[in-house]
Homo-oligomer: A and B are copies of this chain.
Amino acid sequence: MNAAHDAPPRTSLPFDAATAGADSAALAPFPNSRKVYIEGSRPDIRVPMREIWQSPTPGSFGGEANPPLFVYDTSGPYTDPMAAIDLRRGLPTPRLPWIVERGDTEALPGPSSAYGRARLDDPALAALRFALQRPPRRARPGRNVTQMHYARQGIVTPEMEFVALRENLRRKEYLASLAESGPVGARMAALLGRQHPGQSFGASIPPEVTPEFVRQEVARGRAIIPANINHPEVEPMIIGRNFLVKVNANIGNSAVSSSIGEEVDKMTWAIRWGADNVMDLSTGKHIHETREWIIRNSPVPIGTVPIYQALEKVGGKAEELSWEIYRDTLIEQAEQGVDYFTIHAGVRLAFVPMTARRLTGIVSRGGAIMAKWCLAHHRESFLYTHFEEICDIMKAYDVSFSLGDGLRPGAIYDANDEAQLAELKTLGELTQRAWKHDVQTMIEGPGHVPLHLIRENMDLQLEQCSEAPFYTLGPLTTDIAPGYDHITSGIGAATIGWYGTAMLCYVTPKEHLGLPDRDDVRDGIITYKIAAHAADLAKGHPGAQMRDNALSKARFEFRWADQFNLGLDPDKARLFHDATLPKESAKVAHFCSMCGPQFCSMKITQEVRAYAEQGMQEKALEFVRGGATLYREL
């Protein structure tokens, strides 16, 4: 039994930097799996994947060996038993040489934000502070260090090559080597590689992702690689409609609950289950210090909503926010290594009254804060008026925009209304302005939307934002199931992912009710991995069906352990199976507790297949003579 499932929840002792340790549940390797690294064109491009071994097919079904399967792995070094994990030192920094050798950045003497310096100089924070030895970096004056900028110069960066290798999952080499291994391998390759043609609504998914394809997609803004130069720990990933659909998990403390240690644990737990990105939405104490711990230990891109912290700095009074405070916050966070900022620059003064007749008004926190500021001053949003200056900051660190949908609907009632669509159009204008600065940009989307109105959201977004990646929260397809909003929204997420959304922001069962705990985070992520994968299958993403094929083959052949291990959550599958049939002998039994030994249709099917393949009439006679019965022993 894997340790992950049984690990007790961590206790909420006061956080102490000197003794901070990793969550043991996040460190356990997955069953029958090992971390492998694919080397790129240079030895320091090492792309992680997870290899899952399978057992041979039982002799009664053919007895062939089943090849290991490679799956996308977001968990970073944590699940690698060879890696030495020490939260106090942070993760290795594979990107650092790539950043330095480009020669367009410089190490700063220290944080250049006033707030960053103040926090560093505050001795009261010593026990909480991550001991970062590395100074922050920034673009040299006049330089632009975004992946989009490089792409537009025709440069294929190591980051681009990395994501190309990562998206392909060695599929071509894997199937070729299988096919060359002999007739059994060739049959296996044909079976595993078979896939339904997809329906992609105008996406341009290539049969294989090349580094040059990545460059083109980033250059034209149809994909982003969130990778701040101050986050050299990151294993690059790509977000775009022509790539695998990604999943974002939100973590973060609030004034009511949670500590630094718990937030780091939530991050390692979230990436274990497959979160491609993590947003730190903390609004409570020690936001700055919490963020540092998370980034230094995160192999996935980290996003934030800087207005939350800016509001803390003015004691929660929205009307006291100013461009200067906000600007300092952007620089503070950019120098820590935040990879993308949610910025609600589309909440313009003129749109605010459009929300007055809504059932649930403005449900985005950032949107509500900005609306309040606009009204209090009766002025245009400073995020909108200072957008050019924001772009200047973004391109000095390669922080990507996640243009926030501050006016997203918070109820089915409010879906696709005037306010929402006015903001979306503005986000399209801002996308063009960001692209003039070569700043990578994605667009946030709703919210609460009934199934039949989801398509309109996607179509308008593609058109008005020129195919900049869409990044949606759900959408929730009904309001009536508090406690199950991972499901109300998972339905919408799969649907909008199919239509073309590039990244899905998860929703946990606790949505609308409370802060998610570990179980909620896991449920939320697995639900969204399902939605993302269902979308990949529907779009016809090359190779997406391979894991389905392998798992179904294992299921059909009663390879129970393989069925568990190939799934998204091996621990839960095993636990559920063992709830009825706990004995190890049941793991090789040719039946399960759903039907019992006598009625197993899979078993019957195998007999049918034998007949069909060997000539029906002849076998029928033989069968009746033999008086064969179905499998009955337990």
In residues 595-634 of chain A, which contact B (Cβ within 8 Å)? 595-602, 604-609, 611-613, 616-617, 619-620, 623-624, 627, 629-630, 632
Does A46 reach chain B (CB closer than 8 Å)? Answer: no
Check B359–A594 contact: CB distance below 8 A: no
Does A535 reach chain B (CB closer than 8 Å)? Answer: yes
Excluding A361-B602, A362-B608, A375-B620, 18 further A-B contacts by CB distance (< 8 Å) are: A255-B597, A361-B606, A363-B605, A365-B601, A375-B608, A375-B612, A375-B619, A411-B548, A413-B545, A450-B538, A480-B566, A483-B567, A484-B569, A484-B572, A490-B491, A511-B594, A513-B576, A514-B576
Chain B CB within 10 Å, residue with most, of A198, A412, A517, A549: A412
- Per-residue contact bits, chain A 444-466, to B (CB 8 Å; 1 contact, 0 not): 00001011110000000000000
Does A317 reach chain B (CB closer than 8 Å)? Answer: yes
Does A297 reach chain B (CB closer than 8 Å)? Answer: no
Chain B CB within 10 Å, residue with most, of A316, A361, A575: A361
Check B367–A601 contact: CB distance below 8 A: yes
**Cα–Cα, bound, A612→B351 (Å):** 11
**Cα–Cα, bound, A369→B529 (Å):** 36
- Per-residue contact bits, chain A 463-480, to B (CB 8 Å; 1 contact, 0 not): 000000000000001111
User: Which residue of chain B has the shortest Cβ distance to A451 in the bound complex?
Assistant: B538
Check A478–B533 contact: CB distance below 8 A: yes
**Cα–Cα, bound, A199→B594 (Å):** 38
A530/B375 contact (C-beta < 8 A), A360-B555, A450-B196 known: no
A577/B514 contact (C-beta < 8 A), A355-B608, A498-B452, A556-B361 known: yes
Check A316–B632 contact: CB distance below 8 A: yes
Check A483–B612 contact: CB distance below 8 A: no
Q: Which residues of B sit under 8 angstroms from A452, Cβ to Cβ?
A: 196, 198-199, 498, 537-540
**Cα–Cα, bound, A215→B26 (Å):** 60
Does A257 reach chain B (CB closer than 8 Å)? Answer: yes
Q: Which residues of B sit under 8 angstroms from A511, Cβ to Cβ?
A: 594
In residues 469-524 of chain A, which contact B (Cβ within 8 Å)? 477-484, 486-488, 490-491, 494-495, 498, 509-515, 517
Does A593 reach chain B (CB closer than 8 Å)? Answer: yes
Chain B CB within 10 Å, residue with most, of A378, A613, A624: A378
A402 CB → nearest B CB, Å: 17
User: Which residue of chain B has the shortest Cβ distance to A618 in the bound complex?
Assistant: B378
Does A172 reach chain B (CB closer than 8 Å)? Answer: no
Check A362–B604 contact: CB distance below 8 A: yes
As for how many copies of this chain the complex holds, the number is 2
Q: Which residues of B sit under 8 angstroms from A513, Cβ to Cβ?
A: 573, 576-577, 592, 594
Q: Which residues of B sit under 8 angstroms from A533, Cβ to Cβ?
A: 478, 480
Check B194–A413 contact: CB distance below 8 A: yes
In residues 349-363 of chain A, which contact B (Cβ within 8 Å)? 352-353, 355-356, 359-363
Does A442 reach chain B (CB closer than 8 Å)? Answer: no
Check A595–B359 contact: CB distance below 8 A: no
Pairs of residues from A and B, 9 with the lowest C-beta to C-beta distance, nearest first: A361-B605, A255-B596, A411-B552, A368-B604, A451-B538, A356-B612, A368-B601, A483-B572, A514-B580
In residues 553-580 of chain A, which contact B (Cβ within 8 Å)? 553, 555-556, 563-564, 566-569, 572-573, 575-577, 579-580
Chain B CB within 10 Å, residue with most, of A196, A363, A511, A548: A548
Q: Which residues of B sit under 8 angstroms from A170, Cβ to Cβ?
A: none
- Between A and B, 30 residue pairs with Cβ closer than 8 Å are A194-B413, A255-B598, A283-B595, A352-B612, A359-B553, A360-B556, A361-B609, A363-B602, A369-B604, A375-B616, A377-B620, A411-B548, A413-B548, A448-B552, A451-B534, A451-B535, A451-B537, A452-B537, A452-B540, A479-B549, A480-B551, A481-B530, A481-B568, A482-B551, A483-B576, A487-B490, A488-B530, A491-B530, A510-B576, A510-B594
**Cα–Cα, bound, A371→B535 (Å):** 34
Does A364 reach chain B (CB closer than 8 Å)? Answer: yes
Check B483–A569 contact: CB distance below 8 A: yes
User: Which residue of chain B has the shortest Cβ distance to A360 in the bound complex?
Assistant: B556
Does A290 reach chain B (CB closer than 8 Å)? Answer: no
A616/B378 contact (C-beta < 8 A), A412-B196, A552-B479 known: yes
Interface band, chain A:
35 or more
**Cα–Cα, bound, A608→B355 (Å):** 9
Q: Which residues of B sit under 8 angstroms from A367, Cβ to Cβ?
A: 601
**Cα–Cα, bound, A413→B604 (Å):** 19
Does A318 reach chain B (CB closer than 8 Å)? Answer: yes
- Per-residue contact bits, chain A 35-59, to B (CB 8 Å; 1 contact, 0 not): 0000000000000000000000000
Q: Which residues of B sit under 8 angstroms from A620, Cβ to Cβ?
A: 375-378
- Per-residue contact bits, chain A 58-85, to B (CB 8 Å; 1 contact, 0 not): 0000000000000000000000000000
A552/B412 contact (C-beta < 8 A), A364-B601, A451-B494 known: yes
Partner of A376, one of B257, B573, B624: B624
**Cα–Cα, bound, A148→B410 (Å):** 44
Q: Which residues of B sit under 8 angstroms from A575, Cβ to Cβ?
A: 483
Q: Which residues of B sit under 8 angstroms from A581, Cβ to Cβ?
A: 256, 514
Check B576–A509 contact: CB distance below 8 A: yes
- Per-residue contact bits, chain A 114-140, to B (CB 8 Å; 1 contact, 0 not): 000000000000000000000000000
**Cα–Cα, bound, A486→B575 (Å):** 16
A171 CB → nearest B CB, Å: 16
Does A254 reach chain B (CB closer than 8 Å)? Answer: yes
